[in-house]
Structures are given as structure tokens and as C-alpha cells.
Amino acid sequence: MTAVPPDLRATLERLSGLIDTHLDWYGRWVRSLFFPATSPKAPPPDGFVEWAQAPDRHPIADQPAVERVAFLHADVHARALALSLHAGSGRPPREGDFTEATTRFDEMIAQMRRLERALSLGLYGIDPQTGLRARFGLREDLVTFLGALERGGKTFSIVIGDVDRMRKLNGRHGQAGGDRILRAAALALGRHLGPDDEGYRAGDDAVLVCLHGARLPDAARRAERMRQEVVATPVALPSGHVGRMTMSFGVIEAVKGLTVDDLLLGAETAMREAKSTGRNRVVRARLAEPDEVEANVPNG
């Protein structure tokens, strides 16, 4: 593994401290809601905003992973403030509002931990263009995942998504526009990753997602939701215009006996079939089982 540079190490240590700070604050905040007479108010910490804007921070400010945590951070704090004001008037928090706030908090912490893991890979462990994990560790990770599967571990599926007509988009909007399109695509896919899932930059215009615990039908459904998210995601282009994009997806489930090359080739072949049959669609990899030949997921 590449050694962690001093500036990135400090960035990582501050982020880890922020996670601990938020976990401590959460406990105090819950107590202040339900036992206001004995527990002082617990204003939410603003550390993540300061961390995200620090001039000496490793340059990943515009990456989807950071943007997602920043959004969740602001949302959690807004919900916490609203509930605290409600409790301050002597009324207990409404169950639905409290449940939604705690759900968002859990998501924020999970995303912060994912960002923490990504940064811990070192300077080249996170792709600077997409905010996803860099491709150099992809094959090694897949070997590890397949090895665990062979020993009776849980299954997983991989999804490869490739931006449609990217060469044409680069020609129309320039390289800077193409970078924004790819970044927006990665952000859209990232919204559908669970805490245990992993996203990788898999090629020039391709992203690979590893969905742990997902069998093929579930992975295809999740890929379809990713496809719809990409279609619905606007891209702010350097020209000031708002662009749109689509992606084609290939999905394969890891089963015992497959190699890393089998997995990658299967997903890439399915993705190329999606391209050749109209683009903006999801195709399942065809393996030996005849009941899996019907491979397409409807385009809604």
C-alpha cells in the first residue's frame, strides 16, 4: 500500500475525530430531547464544514464522496435543530420526525466511515476525478471477495456502468465538461451504495460497483435504480448550461468457480450488449443457467 503523506494523514485523523465527535454529540442530543429538565441542550458540531473547507486539506473538496457527506451533515443538523426547538416548547418529538432524523444520522456516519476508509488507502487510493476508489486495487479486492466466497462467505455481484456517447459529449463540452459529467455520474451511483458496498473507477468512462450480499436479481434491480438516478441527475456544465447523460450497465453475480477475469469479462460483455441494443439500459450477464437467458431489466 502507498504510504500516507503527512498532509493526508492529518486530514484522515481530523475526519476520524469528527466521526467520534458526532457520535458523542448524538447521545447527548437524544438525552436532551427526551429528558430536557436534566440534560443540557446539545448543539450539533460544525466540524465537518470546517474540515471540508480547510485550505490544507487533501484536494478532494469537489468529489462526490465529500459532497454527499456535506449534504447529509447539513440535513442532519437542520433536523436536529428543528427537533430541539420542538422539545424546547415542552412537547415530545414526533415519532416520525425523530425516526427520520436518526436514519439520516446513521447514513451520515456510514458515509463518513466510507470516506474514512477511502482516504486511508493513501494518496492514490481515491480517484481524484470521481471520488471513488482507484482502479489499481480493484483486482486485488475482487480476489479477496472471491476467496471469501469460496470459503462459504456471502455472495456479491458487480455492476459496470459506462457513460453513453462520452466521446461525443467530450467533443461538445470539452474535457472539463466531460469531467463534470463523469463526476455527476459517480455521485448518482453513490446514492445507491450501502455501507458495505464499494465503488471503483474502472476505466476512462466506466464505474464498477461491488454490491455485497446481492444476488443477481437484486443487483439488477439496484442497477436499474442507478440508471434512473443517472437519467434524473442534471450536470452543471462549464458553459453555464445544464446537461443530461445516460449510462449503460452490465451486471453479474459472483459464484463459486469464477475467476476475476470471468467476472470482469461477464459484466463488460453485458454492458456492451446494453450499448449495442439501444444504450441507457441494464443487461444481466448470461452464464450457464438457461433460466438466466432473459437478461434485460425493463427501462421503466
Residues 165 and 270 in one domain: yes
114 and 259 inside one domain = no
Give the Cα separation of 29 and 102 in Å (integer).
11
The CATH number of the domain where 139 resides is what?
3.30.70.270
> For 133, which DSSP code?
B
- Give 96: exposed, middle or buried? Use CB within 10 Å, 0-12, 13-18, 19+: exposed
* CA 212/CA 260 separation, integer angstroms: 15
State the residue for C-alpha cell 453479474.
252
Residue 129 maps to a domain: no
Q: Are residues 102 and 141 in the same domain?
A: no
* Beta carbons of 36 and 88 less than 8 angstroms apart: yes
My answer on whether 51 and 146 are in the same domain is no
268 and 199 both lie in a single domain = yes
pLDDT at residue number 281: 97
| Beta strands in 146-272, from DSSP E residues, in sequence order | 156-163, 198-201, 206-212, 235-236, 242-243, 247-253
pLDDT number for residue 295 = 39
For position 118, what pLDDT does the model report?
A: 67
> At which residue does the C-alpha cell 436479481 appear?
217
Contact call for residues 8 and 58 (beta carbons, < 8 A): yes
Range of the structural domain that residue 10 is part of: 6-120
The whole-number pLDDT of residue 299 equals 36
- Residues in Cβ contact with 46 at an 8 Å cutoff, skipping those fewer than 6 apart: 77
**Alpha carbon distances (Å) from 106 to 73, 76, 111, 140, 143:** 11, 10, 9, 29, 30
What is the reported pLDDT for 4? 40
> Which ranges in 5-151 belong to alpha helices (H)?
6-34, 47-53, 64-88, 95-120, 138-150
Q: Name the pTM for this structure.
A: 0.59
Going 293 to 297 to 298 to 299, the CA torsion angle's sign is negative
Q: How confident is the model at residue 287, as a pLDDT?
A: 67
**pLDDT value of residue 300:** 34
C-alpha count within 13 angstroms, C-beta hemisphere, residue 225: 9
pLDDT at 26: 86
Count Cβ atoms below 10 Å from residue 180 Cβ, excluding itself.
20
* CA–CA gap between residue 24 and residue 225 (Å, rounded): 35
- The whole-number pLDDT of residue 138 equals 85
How much is the pLDDT for 24? Answer: 84
Tell me how long the chain is: 300
**Same domain assignment for residues 105 and 189:** no
Q: What is the pLDDT of residue 233?
A: 94
pLDDT block averages, 10 residues each, the chain of length 300:
51 79 86 75 66 55 71 87 79 83 89 75 64 79 93 95 90 83 92 90 89 96 97 90 93 95 96 96 77 38
Same domain, 42 and 153: no
Angle at 84 between CA 83 and CA 88, to 5 degrees: 120
Residue 187 in any domain: the answer is: yes
